[in-house]
Amino acid sequence: MRKQHPVDLQDSLKRFLEKQIEGTNAAPLLLIAVSGGADSMSLLDLSVKLSRSGSFGIVAAHLIHHPDSPEAHERAKLVEEFCRANQIQFFSEVLVDTNSPNRSPEERMRQERYRFLTNTASQYSCDYILTAHHADDQAETILERIITGTGLRGLAGIPERRDNVLRPFLSLRKYQLIDYCEVNEIPYADDPANFELNSPRNRIRRVLIPDLEKSFNPDVQAALCRLGCWAAEANQIIESQVEQAYQKSRLNFQKGKIVLDIRSILTYFTLIQKYVLRRAISEVAGSEVRLKSTDFERMVTFLQNSRSGAYLFFAGGVRVARHRDTLIISQRKLTDYSITIFPGQDQIIPGLSLRTIWKEVNAGSYNAGCGNQADLQITDPPGPLILRHARVGDRFHPLGAPGEKRLFRFLNDRNVSRFDKHTTLVLQKNDKIIWVVGHRISEKARVIPGTDGNWSLSLVPHDLDSAE
């Protein structure tokens, strides 16, 4: 292990925070995650010193991972006394036993720790959460993922920032943080569990990395961290391509169902195809779905070689079906949905993850509703409308047609799959369908130039997580 040149840790943290919280509240409140070890105690002490300028405020949070261990309560006491001496508000909680056959003890504790931190930050209106992950943690994470199997995103390791969670020490080695505590007489205590070799992560830290440093490369941790940086940069490029491909190939979107254009997706490299499908599956599932390498291979084979009518199932209750040149990604069971909307009033539709946008139409060419936007005549009276899923027995008078026909017969003529018929949205006025979303408006809603009541309605995706 080759030691780095001395680093001014306080200046390093100051520059990091200036970069990350620039343009936010005049004095944001930071929640410091403190375990009691040298890394988090140095972060807490440095944050205390920087906060004296008034540029931000801090509070501290500590989760007791091993409630039956006297050492765990001693560490909590150590942190609490440090906070009291420095007039820092301190929050703690005891980890509730949540054993799960599907999670390792390490994964369970990690998830519970972030649950505690997120809930505490929300409860006390903290703007950011700071953790003391350092370069040694980064190297261990990347090596562990290489051993157990990972993709490019996994190779990027621990991100410097994810949402409001900041990690300012990823460029620093653990020995630097220990040196800081000892020079500045900052109390700290190691968790005895970190020395138990029955944990895979501890064996990587205590046995594998020292052996690699001794036998192969004394700077192996720095090499692993460089690999993580390069992977993160490459992943940024890939994600920008995925966003472009996803937006270009998505034909329609509603909560529980996404339709993608296969021909559009196939113009991109295979890796981009995989990531586009993963994104669509995750959006339909409602959270990120973890896919194995075999799942990715199944997806690509299905995308490139399947026939119309074929389908696959994935975790999260997601069904991927092919219909001619489209992929329909949906939940296995979709409940009938109906909501009242009002002409001229933009509104969010949480049950469909959509938002309505209304504009008055004056003159020019008119949109017949073949996409997610339509121009409609809504008068006599202009009252509320119903947006809902299509149902068996619905009837519809398509624009330009001589009369009404069964809605499902109309959709069948347009080569809409059996499953997709039941998830097609329709707009209803009184007891008449005036727009089959994505296909056509009704003759009864034809725009009449020069009259009142001509509206343009757009249904656009709405990310509920971004709502204020």
Domain assignments of the chain as residue spans, ordered by start: 9-231, 255-331, 338-466
- As a whole number of angstroms, the distance between CA 422 and CA 416 comes to 10
Look at residue 254 in the predicted model and tell me its pLDDT.
Answer: 72
- As a whole number of angstroms, the distance between CA 378 and CA 82 comes to 67
Name the H helices within 174-219. 174-183, 200-203, 209-215
Look at residue 468 in the predicted model and tell me its pLDDT.
Answer: 33
Q: Which CATH architecture has domain 255-331?
A: 2-Layer Sandwich (3.30)
CA diameter of the chain: 88
Look at residue 370 in the predicted model and tell me its pLDDT.
Answer: 85
pTM over 0.85: no
Write out the two tokens for 430: 């009184």
For residue 436, which of 464, 416, 450, 418 has the smallest C-alpha distance? 416
9-231 and 255-331, same CATH topology = no
Q: List the chain pLDDT tens, one digit each, 468 residues.
A: 445 556 799 999 999 999 998 766 678 999 999 999 999 999 999 999 999 988 899 999 999 988 888 899 999 999 999 999 999 999 999 987 656 656 677 778 888 899 999 999 999 999 999 999 999 999 999 999 999 988 888 999 999 999 999 999 999 999 999 999 999 999 999 888 888 888 899 999 999 999 999 999 999 999 999 999 999 999 999 999 999 999 999 987 777 789 999 999 999 999 999 999 999 999 888 888 888 888 999 999 999 999 988 889 887 788 898 988 999 898 866 667 889 999 889 999 887 878 899 998 876 678 888 888 999 998 766 678 999 999 989 999 999 999 999 999 999 998 887 777 888 899 999 889 999 998 999 998 998 887 888 899 999 887 544 433
Is residue 150 within 8 Å of 227, Cβ to Cβ? no
Look at residue 218 in the predicted model and tell me its pLDDT.
Answer: 96
Look at residue 288 in the predicted model and tell me its pLDDT.
Answer: 85
Burial 42-81 (b: 16+ CB within 10 A, else e): bbbbbbbebbeeeebbbbbbbbbbbeeeeebeebbebbbe
Contact partners, residue 318, CB within 8 Å, separation at least 6: 281, 284, 285, 289, 329, 330, 331, 332
**CATH number assigned to the domain covering 9-231:** 3.40.50.620
Contact partners, residue 112, CB within 8 Å, separation at least 6: 63, 95, 96, 98
